[in-house]
Amino acid sequence: MKFISWNVNGLRACLKKDFEASFAALDADFFCLQETKLQEGQVELPLEGYHQYWNYAEKKGYSGTAIFCREQPLSVRYGMDKPEHNTEGRLITLEMEQFYLVCCYTPNAQDGLKRIEYRQQWEADLRDYLMELDKVKPVVYCGDLNVAKEEIDLKNPKSNRGNAGFSDQERDCMRTLLSSGFTDSFRHLYPDLAGAYSWWSYRFNARANNAGWRIDYFIVSDRLVPHMTGASIHPEIMGSDHCPVELELEF
């Protein structure tokens, strides 16, 4: 069973950069998108054989998530049980027979950590939400989580220490989640692999120089670890400042 997660940084723009060809080549059973930047009806995707689920932000041209899946879910939830977190289209949960799939676009702490208090509240509430799901079925949690957990997860850790995405607060939130019964799938399989990034700034020729960050994840309930058969990153796929990340599970 193959899962893909991709922050497309505006789906309408990505569609002009061979999104549909990349989608077909990746051939996933579950395809999760973040930062679609859409309102309902602005695009129609003829994805034959896939069910489509969209969560739109109230603010136009902002945030947004989607999941495309071959198998129809048992149920679908948009957002979490906290109304204050549900206006930006950041979360979709599919209940499948054997697991929950949660697609997330985590709020950015912003320059100067202007939004760090909200980010920390989001992280605490989302952790509670994931742990409640995990009591029922194991969880596959994916998306642009807007944090590089360790120094190995970005090219320039010293100069970025304390910046959004590499602040002590955000890193601590990720560590707390991972100590609560969850596993970072890629780092579990490749604990020492450096230079594996999923996002590059559009500035300073960063992608060509592989001066990037690993901020896109598949995080799974610990009891799914024996079912993992692969995790990978696809920097060869263009169309966004992020690239797709992949998880394979076998049941």
**pLDDT tens, 148-157?**
999 999 999 9
Cα first-last separation, the chain: 8
- Percentage helix, strand, coil, to 5, in the chain? 25, 25, 45
Q: Supply the residues annotated as catalytic.
A: 105, 144
Instruction: Please tell me the distance from the alpha carbon of residue 34 to that of residue 217, in angstroms, as a whole number.
Output: 12
In the chain, % of residues over pLDDT 90? 100
Amino acid in position 208? A
139-144/100-105 β-pairing: parallel
Instruction: Please tell me the distance from the alpha carbon of residue 32 to that of residue 49, in angstroms, as a whole number.
Output: 15
Residue 186 phi, psi dihedral angles, 5° rounding = -65, -45
E strand intervals along 27-147: 30-34, 51-55, 65-69, 75-78, 91-95, 100-105, 139-144
Which tokens belong to 71?
């198998």
pTM: 0.98
75-78/65-69 β-pairing: unpaired
Residue 76 phi, psi dihedral angles, 5° rounding = -135, 135
- pLDDT range class, residue 1, cuts 50, 70, 90: very high
Section 119-126 average pLDDT: 98
Q: What pLDDT shows up at residue 190?
A: 98
Max alpha carbon distance in the chain (Å)?
46
Which CA distances in Å does 164 have to 69, 95, 157, 170?
A: 32, 32, 12, 8
- pLDDT range class, residue 55, cuts 50, 70, 90: very high
| Coil, helix or strand at residue 214 | coil
Instruction: Please tell me the distance from the alpha carbon of residue 216 to that of residue 37, in angstroms, as a whole number.
Output: 18
Instruction: Please tell me the distance from the alpha carbon of residue 153 to that of residue 41, in angstroms, as a whole number.
Output: 37
Q: What pLDDT shows up at residue 121?
A: 98
User: How far is C-alpha 85 from the chain's CA centre?
Assistant: 17
Q: What pLDDT shows up at residue 167?
A: 98
Average pLDDT over the chain, rounded to an integer:
98
Torsion 78-34-198-154 (CA) sign: negative
pLDDT tens-digit series, residues 165-197: 999 999 999 999 999 999 999 999 999 999 999
Q: What pLDDT shows up at residue 134?
A: 98
Contact 3, 140 (CB under 8 A): yes
> What is the arrangement of strands in the sheet containing 30-34, beginning at the earlier edge strand?
51-55, 65-69, 30-34, 2-7, 245-249, 228-233
